[in-house]
Every structure is written in structure tokens, then in C-alpha cells.
Chain A
């Protein structure tokens, strides 16, 4: 086939410009020109800017030019208890949010598995998926009202049930959980979606075989469903992990990172230092550290993806 295409361009004729552009050696790069322009202007230059500035002491409001400071910023970050607490809080948030969303998503997904005949299924699924597409600014703000102990609907429900009216976002012991709950509300539907996709990838024949073999519910889940669906679930978990790590607007609009620092995840710390305090040098250094963490996440994501592709390739070979 490839030969045929080469042969199709007649030799020894002066090429027109368009033909030159259409050549196999030129074409691939030509198609990449726009994306590379974007990439260089909005990624390479800013990233280099960031890297450079991370070695300087620079505050936008000091009126002084940046002063080269070597690794001072990195040193200051690594010795800052607030950064470490912020990072560990972020990871705790990620683990709890993704963990609960996965389990809940899996359960609800299994429940929705046989829902093909549900009257108004499309509407029901739309309602279920709505929290994901609501702008976090709006959901964060409105949850503040829902949680408000005086005016909030949740407080009223609690009082109606004879329970004490709790101050969800104001109490240092409850705020983290309250924020977590909103994230779970927002993103469990995503794990439901992934579970449904995973279930759809299970071959019907194997399920029928499992039925005939009278495998227990647990065995079916483990041996058949998870065996086939695990890659999709894995991708779902990873995407959620990355997204949860990025969470900012939602929490910021509910608590501003407070009370105290109980809900201050690392993205909020960076936001504050960069855009409230304008300590650009220090913030650049923190952004560089977060960039490294994100690269690690991305690498994991791609690793899982490749292992799925390899697996599918080997399955295809077996099949053949």
C-alpha cells in the first residue's frame, strides 16, 4: 500500500508548492505547526518563565526588581509546615474523595446496570449527571447556603428530625467532611458512568457462563466483571484522582480554605500566595513542585493506558 502511494507521485517533475506541502516528509510537521505555535506561546514560554522566576525573590507589590536567590524559595517551601500540611490535606482529600466515589459509583452503577427499561431513563440519567456539569463557583456558593446553620435547608431538616443543628462549614471538625461530601455529590455520578462503561465491556457470553456455573454474586463481580472492566475503572479512578488533586474553586467558594486551615488544599495555598499576596517568586517555586507531581500523575495514567492496549493486543492474538 505504501509503495503504491509513493509510486502515485510522478517522478522528475518540478514540484509545485502544494505538492511539496503534501509530501510525506513535510505533511506531518505541517499539520503540527498550529499546535506547536500554541504549545510554544502558551506552554513553553510560560513554563520557562515560571522556572526562571522560581529562583528569584520577587513580590509584585514590593516595587523592586526580582533578586536572584538560588534555591531559597524551594528551601523555604520544603521547610514550611503549612505547605506540608496543605499537601497532606490534599492527598487525604484525594484518597477519601476518590475512594468513596469509587465504591459508591460502583454500587450505584451495578444498580443502574439493568435499567434499560427504566421509564424516562434518559431524563433520570441527565438528572443524575447534572452535578458534574454545574459550574463549581455556583455549586460551592449555593452549598454554603444549604449548609448554613441558621438559614440552610440542611439545618432545617436536622432540626425537623430532632437532631442538633450543626455548623458544617464553621466547625473545624466538620468542615473537611462537609467539603468532601460536596465533592462526592458532584463526582460520584462520574464513577457511575465509568462503572456502566466497564459493565458494558463485559462479554455477555461470559456472564451467561457464570450464571450456568452458578457462581456467587461476589465471584461474578471479581472473576468476570472486574476482570474485564478493571481497565476502564482504573482509568476512571485515575482521572478522578487527577481532578480531585486540582480541586480549588469548589472549596474556595465554600470556606476560603478555612476554618483555620482545615480545608486549605494545596491549590488554594498557591492561589493565595500568588494572587492575594503576590509573592511571585515563592509561588512560582511551589507551582514548579506541583508541575512535577502532575507529571507523575500523567505518567501513571499513560502507563495504565499502555498496559490496557498491550493487554487488548494480546487478547486479540489469543482470539486469532
Chain B
């Protein structure tokens, strides 16, 4: 873990100065508050645990000096930040091994959305409803209902809140516009497939999965050093699961029944098996190493120009579009799946991370954490976050007329918030995920031949995990005995 003491860099300083100007104008009534603030004059060090190499996590901390300025100004205390980080696949371990010891090692943690259950159930993180009641500024109006459901609520269906959205995130399809618009391509495509080459954002909104396959097949040109597509297939963390489950749900399937904890019979449906197969079949149009692609590897491939298109999180936009590819990339909604009536359906997995607050913080650190949250959702912070390339979730910022044009992926991000949802918020999340990743990659890599077999295996094991946990009402069925990969 790299640990860094945050210093004011030049950009932060400028930002800070402008924020200072803004607060100075607005904050006359706060001066009284600064004098009677119990933390006044104190010096507090906050430690944030975030996702390594994840631009939006990093941004949350890069902006923190602005908060320090404001805190000094408004509340009269000094605050410094250090940032500890771990990759996705290790962050939960890092947080959980520490929180289990009731440690204050990390005061604020950037958690992945599905971990809320595992962090909330043992009461490691602070329940937020009383906090929000006391600080109405934290009762932010979100852009879409999924924000609250994915980043705040546990258990599903209740109103109990545990997290604040840090980074909103959805999937997007990154397209190399320069290759797409190259002369002659449209005509050649028309001739080969008898249909128009999708060119605009609106064209892609109407793009069905089958037509998408034609598109990437058309642009699959290994002889020219690039392939048609890049997706995520790695066994690490949730990399193969997110896109596969997105296809499953967009084609009418589901992954579980949250009310009864039932997995078997739902997750291993034949339509889900078909969905898994169609995601794996796309490997034909990808570089040979795509089978190991996680988020990072896919960024490398796209940014190095090895693929024409990539299905990737909107959160990594800044890394996907380096200076060399500036203005050469468009981000569009990932393909839709026609239902019986022919209407395109998109029901993708949502990404993104909430902030959660360590429940073992002492009162001082707790207060600073809450002040920090309040600052984070101030319109100017939100806007500054957006300008730096983060994805805020509040309605005010997302509804700004200039929002869509701020970054190439913003229009798609906003659009997809309406077509995305989360999967299991359950304490056994990690265990269920690792068995599913194992099964799916077993199929994707050819260890087993039948996608149905992979899903049966995962469903049986997940059913047992949830039954042992007391969440599922039914035991794994007899068909599960002796099931193996």
C-alpha cells in the first residue's frame, strides 16, 4: 500500500483559492459557528482508504485540500489527509481485516457498492440515517433512484442508509471515432451488411446486440494491429461477472430473488446460459490476451490502440482517453437487447463506489468525516469534482445544461444511470462472487465446455452459501450433489 501525505499541489491550490473566494462570500453566518466549534484549534489527521489506480478515488483525495481550507475557515480546525490504497480485489480485505479489529486505521473508506452488506452487518460502518437527520444538507436529491439503492441502502428494500455516493458509474461503449469515420468505411459496411454504419450517439442508442456484433466483426483487423472489441474476462474480482450479468439481465434473466435468497432456478436459467455464451463468443473479435482483461488491462489495450471499441466503466474515462486519443474517442450506450416486441432493453450492472465512515472513529474524527461529507455534496465541490473527471450523482450537477459536454463519457453515464442496477448486497457477497468468477472463467477459458454447467455449478454453491448464512430459505436441490467443474 502506498501511503502519501497529501500536499497542496499547484492545481489544488488554485482550486482551493477559488473555493475560498466562494465560501468567503457565502460564509458570513458561519463565523459564529467557527468560534464555538468544539474542534476549533485542533489538528486532525484523517486517513482515507481508496481503490488503487482508480482515478475517481484518487480525485476524492486530490480535492481534499479544498476541504482543509474550508474547514480551517469555517470550523477553525486543521486537517490533513493521508491516502492508503489497494486494488479492487484487495480493498475489501484491507478494509475488513482492519475493521474487524475495531481499528481507526482508516477513518473514511471508499467501498465498492456491493460491500455495503458485509460492512454494515457487523456494524463496522456508521449508520447514516441519524447523521442525515441532523445534517439536512446531506439529504441530497439524486439524479436517479438507482443511486440510493446501489450506494446507500442495506438491506435491499429498506430505507436504512449506510453510504454516500462517491463515484457514480455505469458501463459505456468506448468507440474509436477516427477509425469509425475513416473514409470508405461507411460505404464498405453498407455493402457488406446492407445497413447503415452507426455513426452518432443516437445511432448507437438504437444499436441492438446483433448489429453490434456485426460492427465489431467489421472492425476486427488483427492484420492492421487492432481488434474489433475489448471486454473484461479476468477471474480477478468481478471482472467477468459484471458484463455477463448485464447481458443476462438485459435478455430477461435475473441473478437471484432478494426476498427469498433463491439462486437456483433463477441464475442458472437457460437464457442466462445463452447470455454467458454470447458474452464469451465476443472473444472472437478481441486480442488473444482479452481473456485476462480486467479493468486495467483493458485500459492498456484501448489506450495503446489495440482495440477499436471497448465495453468499459465510465469512471475510467480519463485513463481510457489519454492525450494521444483526444477527440478520437466517443462514448456511447452499450448495445441493447430486443425483447419480444422488438423494443431494445438495457439492464446493465451499475458500478461506482460509496463513501462509508468507520464506526470506530473517535468523536473528533467522526465529526471531521461528517463535515467532509457535507463539503463533498456542496454544489461547488460537486462541480469541481465533475470538472476533474469524476462522476457525481446529484441531480443539481447532472441537470446542468453544460454537463453532457463536459467529458466525452458524461452523456452516456447520465443516460445509463436510468438503465443500470446493482446485484447482491449481501454479507456473503465476496464468497458468492468468487465461486461465480471461478465458474464463469472456467467456461470462458475452455476448462469446461457448457455454459449451463458453469451456471449450475455456481448456482448450487451460491445457494449453499446463502442457506448456510440463513438468508436463503431453501437448501441446494438434489441435482447439486456431487456437482463439480
Please state if A62 and B469 are interface contacts (CB–CB under 8 Å): yes
Question: CB of A257 within 8 A of chain B?
Answer: yes
Chain B residues, Cβ within 8 Å of A166:
288
Question: CB of A177 within 8 A of chain B?
Answer: no
Task: Report the separation of the CA atoms of residues A257 and B438 in the bound assembly, to the nearest whole angstrom.
Answer: 9
Task: Report the separation of the CA atoms of residues A89 and B193 in the bound assembly, to the nearest whole angstrom.
Answer: 48
Task: Report the separation of the CA atoms of residues A272 and B119 in the bound assembly, to the nearest whole angstrom.
Answer: 18
Residue from the list A59, A82, A148, A273 in contact with B289, Cβ < 8 A: A148
Interface size class of B (residues with CB under 8 A): 35 or more
What is the count of residue pairs linking A and B with beta-carbon distances less than 8 angstroms? 126
Which residues between 43 and 61 of chain A lie within 8 Å of chain B, taking CB atoms?
57, 59-61
Please state if A259 and B442 are interface contacts (CB–CB under 8 Å): yes
Which residues between 430 and 458 of chain B lie within 8 Å of chain A, taking CB atoms?
430-431, 434, 437-439, 441-448
Please state if A149 and B289 are interface contacts (CB–CB under 8 Å): yes
CB-defined interface of A263-297 with B at 8 Å, one 1/0 digit per residue? 01000000011011111000000000000000000
Known: A59-B427, A62-B469, A150-B287. A258 touches B92 (CB 8 A): no
Question: CB of A172 within 8 A of chain B?
Answer: yes
Closest to A273 in B: B431
Please state if A260 and B122 are interface contacts (CB–CB under 8 Å): no
Please state if A259 and B291 are interface contacts (CB–CB under 8 Å): yes
Chain A residues, Cβ within 8 Å of B437:
258
Closest to B90 in A: A276
Task: Report the separation of the CA atoms of residues A93 and B469 in the bound assembly, to the nearest whole angstrom.
Answer: 34
Task: Report the separation of the CA atoms of residues A20 and B427 in the bound assembly, to the nearest whole angstrom.
Answer: 59
SS class, residues of chain B in contact with chain A: helix
Chain A residues, Cβ within 8 Å of B44:
none
Task: Report the separation of the CA atoms of residues A148 and B447 in the bound assembly, to the nearest whole angstrom.
Answer: 20
Chain A residues, Cβ within 8 Å of B469:
59, 62
Known: A63-B121, A256-B235. A82 touches B292 (CB 8 A): no
Closest to A277 in B: B431
Known: A150-B301, A272-B434. A61 touches B445 (CB 8 A): no
Question: CB of A167 within 8 A of chain B?
Answer: yes
Please state if B96 and A171 are interface contacts (CB–CB under 8 Å): no
Question: CB of A188 within 8 A of chain B?
Answer: no
Question: CB of A165 within 8 A of chain B?
Answer: yes
Task: Report the separation of the CA atoms of residues A82 and B461 in the bound assembly, to the nearest whole angstrom.
Answer: 10
Task: Report the separation of the CA atoms of residues A129 and B125 in the bound assembly, to the nearest whole angstrom.
Answer: 48
Question: CB of A85 within 8 A of chain B?
Answer: yes
Task: Report the separation of the CA atoms of residues A59 and B211 in the bound assembly, to the nearest whole angstrom.
Answer: 46
Question: CB of B483 within 8 A of chain A?
Answer: yes
Please state if B96 and A170 are interface contacts (CB–CB under 8 Å): no
Task: Report the separation of the CA atoms of residues A165 and B458 in the bound assembly, to the nearest whole angstrom.
Answer: 32
Task: Report the separation of the CA atoms of residues A93 and B356 in the bound assembly, to the nearest whole angstrom.
Answer: 42
Question: CB of A139 within 8 A of chain B?
Answer: no
Question: CB of B412 within 8 A of chain A?
Answer: no
Residue from the list B100, B119, B121, B291 in contact with A171, Cβ < 8 A: B291
Residue of B287, B437, B438, B446 with most chain A CB atoms under a 10 A cut-off: B438
Please state if A260 and B288 are interface contacts (CB–CB under 8 Å): no
Question: CB of B93 within 8 A of chain A?
Answer: yes
Known: A172-B447, A255-B235, A259-B441. A276 touches B288 (CB 8 A): no
Residue of B96, B118, B292, B438 with most chain A CB atoms under a 10 A cut-off: B292
Which residues between 83 and 124 of chain B lie within 8 Å of chain A, taking CB atoms?
89, 92-93, 96-97, 100, 118-119, 121-123
Question: CB of A5 within 8 A of chain B?
Answer: no
Residue of B306, B434, B443 with most chain A CB atoms under a 10 A cut-off: B434
Task: Count A interface residues, CB 8 Å.
Answer: 38
Please state if A276 and B430 are interface contacts (CB–CB under 8 Å): yes
Chain B residues, Cβ within 8 Å of A62:
121-122, 427, 469
Task: Report the separation of the CA atoms of residues A60 and B100 in the bound assembly, to the nearest whole angstrom.
Answer: 7
Residue from the list A255, A258, A273, A278 in contact with B96, Cβ < 8 A: A278
Question: In angstroms, how far is the closest chain B Cβ from the Cβ of A63?
Answer: 4
Chain B residues, Cβ within 8 Å of A278:
96, 100, 118, 430
Question: In angstroms, how far is the closest chain A Cβ from the Cβ of B135?
Answer: 26
Chain B residues, Cβ within 8 Å of A275:
93, 97
Chain B residues, Cβ within 8 Å of A172:
442, 445-447
Question: In angstroms, how far is the closest chain A Cβ from the Cβ of B476?
Answer: 12
Closest to B440 in A: A260
CB-defined interface of A60-100 with B at 8 Å, one 1/0 digit per residue? 11110000000000000000011001000000000000000
Question: CB of A173 within 8 A of chain B?
Answer: yes
Chain A residues, Cβ within 8 Å of B236:
256, 258
Task: Report the separation of the CA atoms of residues A85 and B447 in the bound assembly, to the nearest whole angstrom.
Answer: 13
Chain A residues, Cβ within 8 Å of B121:
61-63
Question: CB of A169 within 8 A of chain B?
Answer: yes
Chain B residues, Cβ within 8 Å of A272:
434
CB-defined interface of B52-79 with A at 8 Å, one 1/0 digit per residue? 0000000000000000000000000000
Question: In angstroms, how far is the closest chain B Cβ from the Cβ of A306?
Answer: 41
Task: Report the separation of the CA atoms of residues A175 and B289 in the bound assembly, to the nearest whole angstrom.
Answer: 13
Chain B residues, Cβ within 8 Å of A255:
235
Question: In angstroms, how far is the closest chain B Cβ from the Cβ of A234?
Answer: 36
Question: CB of B234 within 8 A of chain A?
Answer: yes
Task: Report the separation of the CA atoms of residues A166 and B292 in the bound assembly, to the nearest whole angstrom.
Answer: 13
Please state if A260 and B287 are interface contacts (CB–CB under 8 Å): no
Which residues between 102 and 160 of chain A lie within 8 Å of chain B, taking CB atoms?
148-151
Residue from the list B123, B306, B446, B447 in contact with A261, Cβ < 8 A: B447
Please state if B287 and A261 are interface contacts (CB–CB under 8 Å): no
Chain A residues, Cβ within 8 Å of B427:
59, 61-63
Chain B residues, Cβ within 8 Å of A61:
96, 118-119, 121-122, 427-428, 430
Question: CB of B482 within 8 A of chain A?
Answer: yes
Question: In angstroms, how far is the closest chain B Cβ from the Cβ of A170?
Answer: 4
Question: In angstroms, how far is the closest chain B Cβ from the Cβ of A8?
Answer: 54
Question: CB of B485 within 8 A of chain A?
Answer: yes
Question: In angstroms, how far is the closest chain B Cβ from the Cβ of A80?
Answer: 9
Residues of A within 8 A of B (CB): 57, 59-63, 81-82, 85, 148-151, 165-167, 169-173, 175, 255-262, 264, 272-273, 275-279
Residues of B within 8 A of A (CB): 89, 92-93, 96-97, 100, 118-119, 121-123, 234-236, 287-292, 300-301, 306, 427-428, 430-431, 434, 437-439, 441-448, 468-469, 482-485
What 3 pairs across the A-B complex have the smallest Cβ distances? A260-B442, A258-B235, A259-B445
20 A-B pairs, CB-CB below 8 angstroms? A57-B468, A60-B122, A62-B469, A63-B123, A63-B427, A85-B484, A148-B289, A148-B292, A167-B288, A170-B292, A172-B442, A172-B445, A258-B437, A258-B445, A259-B445, A260-B439, A261-B447, A261-B485, A276-B434, A277-B434
Additional A-B contact list (15), CB under 8 Å, known A57-B468, A148-B292: A81-B484, A82-B484, A85-B485, A150-B289, A150-B301, A151-B289, A165-B288, A166-B288, A170-B291, A171-B445, A259-B291, A259-B447, A262-B447, A272-B434, A276-B92
